[in-house]
Amino acid sequence: MRNRAASYYLVMILALSCLGWDYSAARKNREGNELYRKGEYEEALKKYSDALTEAPEKKELYFNIGDTLYKQGKFKDAADLYGKSSLTDVDQQAKVFYNIGNSKFQMEKASPGEDQLKDAAADYVRSLQMNPADKDAKHNLEFVLREIKKIEQKKEEKKENQQQKKEEQQKKEEQEKKDEQQKKEEQQKKEEQQKKGEQEKKDEQQKKEEQQKKEEQQKKEEQEKKDEQQKKEEQQKKEEQQKKGEQEKKEGQQAKEEQSQQTPVGEKELSEQEAKDLVRKFEREQRDLSHFIETQITPMPGKVDKDW
């Protein structure tokens, strides 16, 4: 980027008397030019401003003030003053647009913006239209166009990055949503599995209780059956005992009757107790006799001769 100050002040100064400048205004303008060349921009600005007060119709003073403001870094004010110069000479007007373009470029550097660069490029184009041989204007135009292209590329890259970031964020959200859904399904599956396990455990416990109840019922029935059988046996034993008692009583009665029949006439009749005692004695004797007979007929070990 080439910054070029207006270098034709001396030519303008020499021509001032011919252009009808007021002497006081022309003197202050010359003094301002000297201060400008020395770099004393604040003092030069005062001289130019005083001259403009005395000769407001002189558009050249707007240009000189614009140059001074540019040197002070007041690029927006400089561009405004350049615009007010409205010089009629084509070569001078080309320099005006060139300096306006430089001011806008500097404004863009202070506060980056693609629009200001485009405005600067438009001013360089106007300058070249009036002076196609101006190499500085051509160089600056090419430089600004490259900067605009870089900005556009950066904007495109930023846009792509934003789109990519947006897509990544969307993917991330979708993945988080998917993970959340999966987590929810796993939790639901876990709860269902837990419920199933609890139900199976409950069913197993119920089955166990039913089996235990069944076994207890079976044991109870077996015990009742056993008790019934025992009761039946006891009843049967009781009945047998009763029959036996009745039989003994009957036999005792019969023995008594037989004894009564064998008692000689005139003998004393036995009492009931004596009769019972006699019957028991008879039964004992019968048992003893039976044992004796069984003992006598028990085969002896050894050889036995056949008798036929």
- HEC states along 67-126? HHHHHCCCHHHHHHHHHHHCCCCHHHHHHHHHHHHHHHHHHHHHCCCHHHHHHHHHHHHH
Q: What is the percent of the chain where pLDDT is above 70?
A: 82
Q: Which of 139, 137, 115 is nearest to 126 (CA)?
A: 137
Is 268's pLDDT higher than 70? Answer: no
160-167's contacts with Cβ under 8 Å and 24+ in sequence apart are none
Above 50 in pLDDT, residue 18?
A: no
Q: What is the CATH number of the domain that holds 29?
A: 1.25.40.10
8 has pLDDT over 50: no
Q: What does the pLDDT read at residue 116? A: 84
Confidence bin at 308 (pLDDT 50/70/90): very low
Q: What pLDDT, on a 0 to 100 scale, did the predictor assign at position 14?
A: 36
Kindly state the average pLDDT of the residues 173-178: 93
Residue 7 confidence (pLDDT) above 50: no
How far is CA 227 from each of CA 88, 116, 222, 233, 237, rounded to the nearest angstrom? Answer: 142, 117, 8, 10, 15
pLDDT at 97: 93
- Residue carrying structure tokens 């009957």: 250
What pLDDT is attached to residue 249? 84
User: What does DSSP assign to residue 299?
Assistant: P
- Ranking 54-68, 117-131, 220-234, 294-308 by mean pLDDT, the lowest is 294-308
Name the residue range of residue 131's domain: 9-157
Residue 39 lies in a domain: yes
Residue 160 scores a pLDDT above 60:
yes
pLDDT value of residue 262: 60
Q: Is 110 within the bounds of a domain?
A: yes
Among the residue ranges 39-53, 112-126, 243-257, the one predicted with the least confidence is 243-257
- Greatest CA separation for the chain: 214
Q: Is residue 148 part of a domain?
A: yes
Confidence band for 28, pLDDT divided at 50, 70 and 90: very high
Supply the pTM of this predicted model. Answer: 0.51
Q: Is the pLDDT of residue 37 over 90?
A: yes
- Could you count the other beta carbons within 10 Å of the beta carbon of residue 136? 16
Q: How many structural domains compose the chain?
A: 1
pLDDT at 265 exceeding the cut of 60: no
Q: Is the pLDDT of residue 231 over 70?
A: yes
Q: How many CB atoms lie within 10 A of CB 123?
A: 27
Whole-number pLDDT of residue 137: 94
Confidence of residue 13 (pLDDT cuts 50, 70, 90): very low
Q: Tell me if 284 is assigned to some domain.
A: no
* pLDDT at res. 264: 56
The answer to whether 98 and 134 are in contact (CB under 8 A) is yes
pLDDT recorded at residue 289: 62
Kindly state whether residue 257 falls inside one of the protein's structural domains: no
Mean pLDDT (whole number) for 19-25? 75
Buried b / exposed e along 68-105 (16+ C-beta atoms within 10 A): bbbbeebbebbbbbbeebebeeeebbbbbbbbbbbbbb
Q: What is the mean pLDDT of residues 131-147?
A: 94
Rounded CA gap, 116 and 4, in Å? 19
Tokens found for residue 138: 């051509």
Per residue in 178-216, pLDDT tens? 999 999 999 999 999 899 989 999 888 988 898 988 888
pLDDT in tens, 115-126: 888 999 999 999
129 within a domain of the structure (yes/no): yes
Average pLDDT, the chain: 83
| 256 lies in some domain | no
Look at residue 127 and tell me if it is in a domain. yes
d(CA 200, CA 196): 6
